[in-house]
């Protein structure tokens, strides 16, 4: 319908202009019909384009060349009509070639997306499989040992990465606004922890991150929220975790805070003293930013990186 409408509008426009200009447009012949054929084929497909081209050819043949109202053409007019028909055919050929190329690209993209989703599904399953192996190994070790604690920490991070991975590559959640995405991610972490009464507050500007940035931000948020769930609510049934994400002066600012007892000052300044700090600093460098821990009540982590 769009192709028919575009073809009809430009056909009428070309006819009116030809009638208004009269003899002034004699040299142009039917060339004013070419945009009508082009747009009809572009928006309506090759069949609509051929239909509009046939109508334009007949009308131009009969109405644009003297003697008007007949199919008689002088030799020079025959050349003009031949050039017009060849140009119209070339337009439609190019449109058909473009449509075929676009169709092939669309099918190729769909196949690539299917393979990519399958790959992400397998990666998440492999992470879960490794986590299960660590858990089986952990069951054979005595509790409280350094090896058991290391296996627990590694398994917890693998579980976290698996949840982040599934959330990031879930088509129903990736297209969400950033606040909705972070809410879903952190809600999963809270639900999987032993502190289901923790209140989550997420405020975020309507910004769009590319896939790599979203992955790094997701892992940083997941790491910080996991640390809060592990340390900030010991000995109490509830609390609050607040996440703010804003765009200020050409930089993204991410704040993750809890209302727990806080952390030692030397822990906030440490950049490589623990596995968690090393992961956070590495992810921040990947974003060309930095992460710091602000003083005050509770624990507040601030990530700043360029937009």
At residue 22, the pLDDT reads 62
Residue 201 sits in the same domain as residue 302: yes
- Percentage of the chain modeled with pLDDT above 90: 11
Last residue of a domain, one of 53, 77, 106: 106
Count of structural domains, the chain: 2
Tokens at residue 216, please?
């790094």
Last residue of a domain, one of 65, 83, 106: 106
- Tell me the C-alpha distance between 307 and 287, whole Å: 10
Residue 303 sits in the same domain as residue 202: yes
Spatial CA neighbour of 65 closest among 101, 26, 37, 94: 26
Domain annotation covers residue 258? yes
Check residue 69 and report its DSSP letter: T
Last residue of a domain, one of 86, 106, 126: 106
At residue 252, the pLDDT reads 93
The tens digit of pLDDT for each residue in 112-169 reads 767 766 766 677 777 777 777 777 777 777 666 667 777 777 777 677 667 666 666 6
Domain annotation covers residue 280? yes
Domain that holds residue 201: 194-307
* CATH code for position 206: 3.30.565.10
Residue 102 sits in the same domain as residue 200: no
């Amino acid at each position: 319908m769009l192709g028919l409408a575009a073809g009809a509008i430009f056909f009428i426009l070309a006819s009116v202009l030809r009638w208004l200009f009269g003899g002034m447009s004699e040299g142009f012949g039917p060339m004013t019909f070419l945009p009508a054929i082009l747009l009809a084929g572009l928006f309506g497909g090759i069949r609509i384009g051929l239909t509009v081209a046939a109508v334009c050819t007949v009308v131009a043949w009969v109405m644009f060349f003297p003697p008007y109202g007949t199919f008689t053409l002088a030799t020079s007019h025959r050349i003009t009509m031949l050039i017009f028909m060849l140009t119209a055919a070339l337009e439609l050929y190019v449109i058909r070639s473009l449509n075929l190329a676009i169709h092939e690209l669309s099918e190729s993209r769909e196949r690539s997306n299917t393979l990519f989703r399958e790959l992400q599904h397998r990666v998440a399953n492999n992470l879960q499989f490794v986590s299960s192996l660590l858990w089986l190994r952990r069951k054979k070790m005595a509790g409280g040992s350094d090896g058991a604690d290391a296996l627990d920490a590694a398994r917890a991070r693998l579980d976290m990465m698996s949840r982040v991975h599934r959330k990031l590559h879930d088509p129903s959640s990736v297209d969400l606004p950033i606040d909705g995405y972070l809410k879903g991610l952190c809600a999963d972490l809270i639900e999987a922890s032993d502190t289901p009464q923790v209140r989550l507050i997420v405020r975020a500007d309507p910004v769009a991150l590319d896939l790599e940035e979203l992955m790094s931000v997701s892992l940083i948020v997941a790491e910080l929220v996991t640390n809060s769930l592990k340390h900030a609510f010991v000995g109490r049934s509830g609390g609050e975790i607040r996440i703010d994400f804003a765009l200020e002066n050409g930089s993204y600012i991410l704040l993750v805070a809890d209302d727990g007892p806080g952390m030692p000052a030397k822990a906030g300044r440490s950049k490589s003293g623990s596995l968690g700090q090393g992961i956070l600093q590495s992810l921040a460098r990947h974003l060309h930013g930095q992460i710091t821990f602000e003083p005050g009540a509770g624990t507040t982590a601030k990530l700043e990186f360029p937009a």
